[in-house]
Amino acid sequence: MDEKELLGLKRIAIVGLSPSEERASNVVARFLISEGREIFPVNPNEKEMLGRRCFPSLEEIPGEIDVVDVFRRPEAVPEIVESAIRIGAKAVWLQEGIISPSLENARKAGLATVEDKCIMKEIKKLLP
């Protein structure tokens, strides 16, 4: 699956979504909602964000997840990748500034991967 196909996927888990409106994760989540994407906040410290139930882990989200969008430090990525593999996600997307060799495990498991790019900026490039 190429990056353009990834950008068309609709069910997106946002790992590390912050309740703070100034944080990049919150800005990106609101943009994705405005673009008609179904987002699933993943943050064990919150019950609800942006009018959606917040999940403590990827494994607790009902149904399939297309993209696991990661807003966590690089040292947290290996565990998130393993969770993404377990739930059968189609892709793992690491936001700007996040690079991890553990993406190789995701690729070996058949997941598409992107690192060090903002999903919002990439979608905006495709908008008319």
pLDDT over 90 at 7, yes or no = no
> What does the pLDDT read at residue 122?
95
pLDDT one-digit tens code per residue, 79-108: 999 999 999 999 999 999 999 999 999 999
- Domains of the chain (ranges, CATH numbers): 3-126 (3.40.50.720)
Q: What angle do CA 50, 36, 49 make, to 5 degrees?
A: 10
Q: Are 25 and 47 in contact (CB under 8 A)?
A: no
pLDDT one-digit tens code per residue, 44-84: 999 999 999 999 999 999 999 999 999 999 999 999 999 99
> What does the pLDDT read at residue 9?
93
Residue ranges of E strands in the chain? 11-15, 38-42, 48-49, 52-53, 67-70, 91-94, 112-114
